[in-house]
Amino acid sequence: MELTINNQSKFYENIPANLAALLLAEFGTLRKGIAVALNHQVIPASAWPNTPLSDKDQILIITATQGG
């Protein structure tokens, strides 16, 4: 199964069950300071555990950074 994450195709034998599981698989933790859009719709962090994923979903993960 295939997901597109930040414009890069990733293939999974088994797609993670939901956004929270995907973020855990990709980052090892549910970090603060990130925003996620699924198929061009921003998903609030509180909904990540209840947001299922499907083959061919497009996911954009944005990480907040500091700078000066």
pTM given for the model: 0.86
Instruction: Give 46's pLDDT tier (boundaries 50, 70, 90).
Output: very high
For the chain, where are the E strands, in sequence order? 2-5, 8-11, 34-38, 41-43, 58-63
Query: What are the structural domains, with CATH classification, of the chain?
Result: 2-63 (3.10.20.30)
Instruction: Give 4's pLDDT tier (boundaries 50, 70, 90).
Output: very high
Bigger pLDDT: 6 vs 67: 6
Q: Could you tell me how many residues make up the chain?
A: 68
